[in-house]
Structure 1
Amino acid sequence: MTEGEFEAKVSRYLDGELSPRDFAELEKYLESSEEARASYLDQIDLHNVLDLELSTPAMVYPGVSNVVPIERMMKRQKRRAFIQSAMVAAAMLVLLGILFQLVVVPKKEPPLVFRASRDSIVSVTHPAAYEDGREPEADTLVEGSRLELRQGVVELNLSSGVMAIVRAPADLTLLGKNRMSVREGVAWFHVPEEAIGFRVSTPRMDVTDLGTEFGVICAPETLDEVHLLKGKIEVRHRHGVKNVEALEVPTGLIADPAGRFRSIPARAEDFLTYLPPSLPYLHLSFDSIDDGRLDVTGTHPSVPDIKARLLKPAGDPPLTPGVHGQALRLYGRGDFVRTNWPGISGNRPRTVALWVRMDGSEAYNPAVPLVGWGSLLNNGKWKIHAVDDVEAGGRVARISLGKSWYSTNNIRIDDGQWHHLVAVSYGESLENGRPALAIFVDGQRRELIHHGGSQGNDRFSDLYTLTDAKDSVPLLVGKGILAGNQSFKGELDELTVYEGALSDESIRHLAAGELPDSGK
């Protein structure tokens, strides 16, 4: 704005003729120029003096000059002083606002913000020395921060624009704005164009992004994997001969101990690409059967590849009204459901939840589980049973593993009514060395009684499920390895297997009739 335009706008403003648009331009110009503000105050002062002089008619006294009475002059001075003070105050407020914007340091954006699905267990360790001694905000990472995910899923959002979905168990460290170390975990990364060069280091590999979408898989005692899903990456082996590979089409690599890579197909199905609302799970509703096939749904990345089939049908209708929709009816004649899902391995946390209805009037083979998977011969099984209990006067729930088992006390589940049954492993050991387990019946945690072992030796109480032994069986419903031609007799509904230990609150919601989350 030129000097002439500025003076013209001030003049029109004082005459009450300035348009709203021109007033906004004038106000903006005053905020930007100290010289303009000084000139504006001078013009305001002059205008006020002239206004006071011209607004009062002159009094003519015979024989003397025109004189303004002293009382009126005092009022004029007071009014002028008040107006000047108000204008100076307004100008100072504008000036202070400008200085505040220039001097006050804007809130610094954290390098990484994360959020977790419900019932995830996350721990974060920040570097010992952080700037100004301040602790970083919750759910953020700074350079050097380490995030450990015991169960569940987290979504990572870096300030560079990189987004990642990481599934437990996981252990990662933020090394910088555009670099991360992943010691363990299944992690999917989406890298926008502006963040090209983002780098992920695993124990055996350095993966540099060239504008892409990729995933890494690494765990103790296994070989690291990288899967290019879209775009380009460069992969460098960190050991041995330190081979380098550039990938431009979807494919995968395994890093061998010698420093070389072995090509494998890219498996997009191994990775989650969104944050699920709860722990990853698979769900059999038993609402329909199509030529023996049952639907498997859920948020676990394996769900699209899981097949479930009713084998050796008894000839009677396999479906019956359940808690929600239809339920599976097994007749104990060798009929059962077999899947191709190997189950959850090792001592990783898990939850099995289902509705069950049983009639206790008939004999029951305790070797027949409701649900189970793993290796029997190698003491690496994980099974949920309903077994006879003299004190309860009927059948109670039991977790069976290794050569030990844990049963509820005096809580009968074979009274012909629907009961909600949940078996949980927390993936850790108690002070006595036994695994931390829980059984909930109808939403209530029940006391457990330990059986098995020998002469106080609880070495078979360790929870370590083997899913890759020669005798390992996948997830079976209503059938056990040693049960011969027998199978479970009763009704089952809404079977859900979670990759992680549900909280007591989440279990109570399921027992109250809620269904698992449906997905995104």
Structure 2
Amino acid sequence: MTEQELMKLIDALLDGDISEADFLRLEAELSVDSKARKAYYDRTALTMLLEDSAAEVQGENVSTTKRRSSKRPESAWRKAFAAMAIVCALLFGLTVWLIGSSLLDDAGNKLVENENGTSPRIEDKEDQATGFAVVMAQSDAVWGAGQSLHDGSLVPLGEIQLEQGVVQLELFSGVMVIVEGKARFSIESPMEMTVAEGQVRAQVPEPAQGFRVRTSGGEVVDLGTEFAIHAGPDSSEVHVLEGEIEWRPKTNVVRKLHEGEALRLIDDGDEQTIPANRSQFIGAAELYESLNAEKITKRARWNTYRKKLQEDERVVAWYSMDTPRSSRRRIANQAERGSMRAGEGAVVAASPAQDRWGTEGAALDFSPTGSRVRLNISGELRSMTLSTWVRINSLDRWYNSLFLTDGHELNEPHWQIMDDGRLFFSVKKRDEFDRSRGERDKHIYYSPPFWNSSMSGQWLMLTTVYDVDAMKVTHYLNGDVISQERIPEEYVVEAVRIGNASLCNWGLPTREDPHFAVRNLNGSMDEFVIFSAALSALEVKDLYENGRP
């Protein structure tokens, strides 16, 4: 529900002319959204304050008083109702906080519990992140010291080691930095970095003038607009490519350098004037030219690998989101030899987006409410592997759908992401169960949290393997195992069925009940695959290495 819709419903309630259907919508929103409850409280408090102020003014006029007295019952009713609703909302919020285990699970049942029996969500907290810069692009980058930074990653605090390759960083101050390996550097703040080794080229916009780079020999202070630094083991160089800088050596006097000028700095403190050499340092244009060539090569390799894999009899369904070109809005199942029947997908509300290779319109954005791709997959699976490439903007629902069957009937799987960043997989085992005896309709296999807001916009490959023969469920992120759990004997399902299902959403409203759970993924998907077998860890890794951009 948008903020505008929420306020419209609140005003209708306070004016006493809200319909029953709208009242139910508002009640549902207040019961799950703490921000909505606060908006309701603030609006009600303001309304009551205005009415009291108006009453005081009207009290000075006798005729107005008569008119006011005739309306007083309605005003009193609204105040009483508003106060009652506020108390109910606050009591509801307190109850959820105190007994978070009474939250609903993905099929509408109570008590969503993880392995420790705790609720997946107790209270709302504002997201926080740490860092001063973002990795925007990289070419042949090999990170050292066990670090692994992807495009879109926040640059961590402390020293960063780039063993080889070229990386583009964007600092929050607006400074763009190109780093060439081998390099050791750290981002100290949005306006300061340290370079111990390597080559750095910085473009500094006007709002960031005064940006500083520290080296072993001194400090460069930008006065606008572009400069470069080479930090070597025996000597360093400072080149002014455009504008001017101030050089503050540790041993000599401060001096200014202008466009076209450069200094070579020897370890003993000597300074040698040399001409600036722009071609010595890679710029953004050269980096992106190299990246485009890399992407063409990698995508060609992926297309060859994908075509071969689509002939694998284990591939039940292969949906690439780059196919809905016609007005029919359909996505073909590209699996060529699968033993089960999986038809084409019908695109609903989702809009074209850029895929992981940077191609416009080759992925689908599921952010609009109601977005989904409708599928029908018949037959039964003993074991299965689900794999997809997604770019998550945010996890702003309790449940964020990847692949959900309609209604979640017996033997049907559900695959989604919790709001705290955990992968969720289940296969429904039973309809009837005794909760007082610890029974559930299914066992939920959670991964540890793998996603946080600092990863927003990054393309990720998510994979879950349901292996009945080995009695385990394994979750993968970018080809690496993030969790593995044994399947309890009492929850084994040896004949998994899918039927009607949706990518990136869940559930269909009906004529009798037009309401539906909002679980659409706030993000994009460009490929989704189902295997009728449990892939090995080596096969999952191979799938990622061949498919990563």
TM-score, structure 2 normalization: 0.33
Mark the structure with the bigger radius of gyration: 1
User: Which structure features the higher share of helix residues?
Assistant: 2
